[in-house]
Amino acid sequence: MRAAEGDVTLEAAPADAVPRPQATAAVRGARGAMFKAWLPALLALLLLDVTFNHWFWHIPKLTQASADYGYQFLTDARALSTTPKRADTPRVVAIGSSVAGSFDPGQVQGLLAAGGSAADVHRLLLPGIKPSDLRLFFDTDGADVAPDVVVLLLNPLDFLNPSFERDLKPQVRTVLPPAPTLRERGAFIPTMAGKFDLALASVSNLYRYHKLLRSSVEDHLRLAWRWLRGGPAAQGYGWYADGFTRQDFGVPLAAAGKGLEYYIDPAWLAQRGAVTLTFSTAAGLIERRSETTPGWKRFEVPPVAGAGPLLFVSADSAWSPRAAGQHDTRALGVRLRDVPSAAPGRDRSPVRYPPLERAHPDTLLRMNGEQGDAFVVRWQTLLDADSDFGRRFRAYREAKLAARNEPLTPTGEYAELERLVQGFSERGASVLLINNPESALLRWQYAGDPYYRSYLDFLAGVAARQPHTQFVDLGGVLPIDDFNDWHHVTYIGAIKLGPRYAALLKPLLRAAAPAQP
């Protein structure tokens, strides 16, 4: 053990000593070295910061929404704000918290188109976002989204928060504009650090969007790692032994050389309206096909130089046999006439940029596709477990049950919802308020109680008070086994809801004139 020592001799001069000429030169040298090292670094950071909005949003987001909801929300909102609206096509935007996962914009758009109502349908979803947050967003950064029709997907939990101004969740803070948030909620932010955080975010894009940039960097690094580890794709992927495929699959060109025969199931078209298939090889896109009639189809593979070993096929959607009344929870694409003999072991497509990363929704069924009593038993086991999930959903239940005999006071989030709807109405948009489905396992415990009735009455009242606004209660339209929990539907439940949403939107679209941004 020995005494430590510094690298540079200590300053010997007293505080106010006059520097000697040699010392002044040395000081100048040191100062110059410091500026040389730090000034370019600071300028580079400043440049990145001020030009952030000119480069960041051009970088493809590589992962699906659930990998980073805030990033997805801002990416979608920015695309809507910067893309001009088509003059003859109304823009529909469904917004809400995690319950808005029940609204598949592609499905609703396809069903509307199949019914003769062209619409440009989008969804802005962020778990935990409340009416007050949405109102702030659409009053500021989101003003240019300019929807013609707004679908607000609601759940009573969105309103059970008496101190909403103080409850600025991290993922919500990421998407809200910092300066207006600070102005509006500064008084409710308990710490100086919290206020300073928003102040800093309002002057620095790098700081404001650091989580998005971090996600993007990490996603690109992961993809690069996959690319480095993976060799050229030779095996096919993405089909089942019975010939059905996933939404995306690749078959060996040697097998498809004479032409690929595939079947479009009528249930698929019934669920989606139309299906678009994209055929490509390593050399690039061959053809994009829109299928509007069911039955067997054939795709002739043209000879292409540099095509590689696989023919890649991607559908714009998947369909659910279970939603069509069959006992099959898979999410499927086409059915192949000649099932390739190679083992379909690989589920992931080869590395491409940007990658086609889709979650296989049938793997996300928390209840494992159970139905009836088996579903109830599995749900109860999950709910009673000493896990984060169990604790969270027990807390949701307690919150709803605790309020069921309380009088409803239309303040807080209720008042914010009315302001939000009023804002849309004043900008000429039609608004569809939807009380989204909830599991009957919980709903029966409070559906007849005063608070819940007042909640529905309030939403109906908003619809009556605000022009171009409707309210629909879909609270009880799905069976329990279409839920992953109390209020989040499975992908099968979402597919079942699509036609209902489309039917509700159809009359609104006829009345909607595209609003001016």
Partner 1 sequence: MLFNSISFLIFLPIVLLGANGLPARWRNLFLLAASYVFYGVWDWRFLLLLIGTTGVDYFAALQIAATSLPQRRRAFLLLSLGTNLTVLGFFKYYDFFVQSGAALLSAIGLPASPWTLSVILPVGISFYTFQSMAYVIDVYRGELPAVRDLRNYALAVAYFPQLVAGPISRMGQLLPQLQRRARPTAERVQIGLGLMVVGFAKKVLIADLLAPEVDRIFTHPGQMTSGLLLKGAYCFALQIYGDFSGYSDIARGVSELLGVRLMKNFEQPYLSQSITEFWRRWHISLSSWLRDYLYIPLGGNRYGAWNTYRNLMLTMLIGGLWHGANWTFVAWGGLHGLYLAVERMLGIGRERHLGGGVLGWASSAARVVVTFHLATLAWIFFRAPSIGAAMTYLHGLVRFEHLGDVGPVPFVAGAAMLVIDLPQYLSGRHTAFLRLPWWVQSPLYAGVCLALILYGGSEVPFIYFQF
Point out which residues bind partner 1 (CB under 8 A): 1-8, 10-11, 13-17, 27, 30-31, 33-34, 36-42, 44-45, 48, 191-194, 196-197, 200, 206-207, 210-211, 213-214, 217
Query: Of the two residues 186 and 517, which places its CB atom closer to partner 1 in the complex?
Result: 186
Name the minimum Å distance from CB 235 to partner 1: 24
Name the minimum Å distance from CB 191 to partner 1: 8
Name the minimum Å distance from CB 368 to partner 1: 23
The amino acid that residue 377 corresponds to is: V
Query: Of the two residues 199 and 351, which places its CB atom closer to partner 1 in the complex?
Result: 199
Query: Of the two residues 7 and 373, which places its CB atom closer to partner 1 in the complex?
Result: 7
Query: Of the two residues 221 and 356, which places its CB atom closer to partner 1 in the complex?
Result: 221
Name the minimum Å distance from CB 200 to partner 1: 8
Name the minimum Å distance from CB 352 to partner 1: 24
Query: Of the two residues 7 and 88, which places its CB atom closer to partner 1 in the complex?
Result: 7
**Tokens 């949701």 appear where?**
396
Across 326-478, the runs of DSSP E, i.e. the strands, are 335-336, 430-435, 469-473
Query: Of the two residues 194 and 243, which places its CB atom closer to partner 1 in the complex?
Result: 194
Report which DSSP code applies to 53: H
Give CA–CA dist 297/318, Å, rounded: 17
Provide the pairing of β-strand 245-252 with 310-315: antiparallel
Token pair recorded at residue 322: 């279970």
Residues 6+ apart with CB under 8 A from 60: 353, 354
Give CA–CA dist 329/320, Å, rounded: 7
The amino acid that residue 513 corresponds to is: A
Name the minimum Å distance from CB 127 to partner 1: 19
Name the minimum Å distance from CB 197 to partner 1: 5
Name the minimum Å distance from CB 48 to partner 1: 7
Query: Of the two residues 212 and 286, which places its CB atom closer to partner 1 in the complex?
Result: 212
Rg, the chain, Cα only: 28
Question: DSSP letter string over 200-261?
Answer: HHHH-HHHHTHHHHHHHHHHHHHHHHHHHH-----S-EEE-TTSBEEEEEEEEHHHHTT-EE
DSSP-H helix ranges across 351-407: 372-384, 388-403
**Residues 181-188: contacts with CB under 8 Å, at least 24 apart:** 181/136, 184/136, 188/163
Q: CA end-to-end span of the chain, whole Å? A: 72
Name the minimum Å distance from CB 402 to partner 1: 31
Centre a 10 Å sphere on the Cβ of residue 38 and count the other Cβ atoms it contains: 10
Query: Of the two residues 206 and 342, which places its CB atom closer to partner 1 in the complex?
Result: 206
Query: Of the two residues 10 and 305, which places its CB atom closer to partner 1 in the complex?
Result: 10
Name the minimum Å distance from CB 166 to partner 1: 18
Query: Of the two residues 48 and 460, which places its CB atom closer to partner 1 in the complex?
Result: 48
Residues 6+ apart with CB under 8 A from 76: 122, 123, 124
CA geometry: angle 292, 294, 300, nearest 5 deg: 85
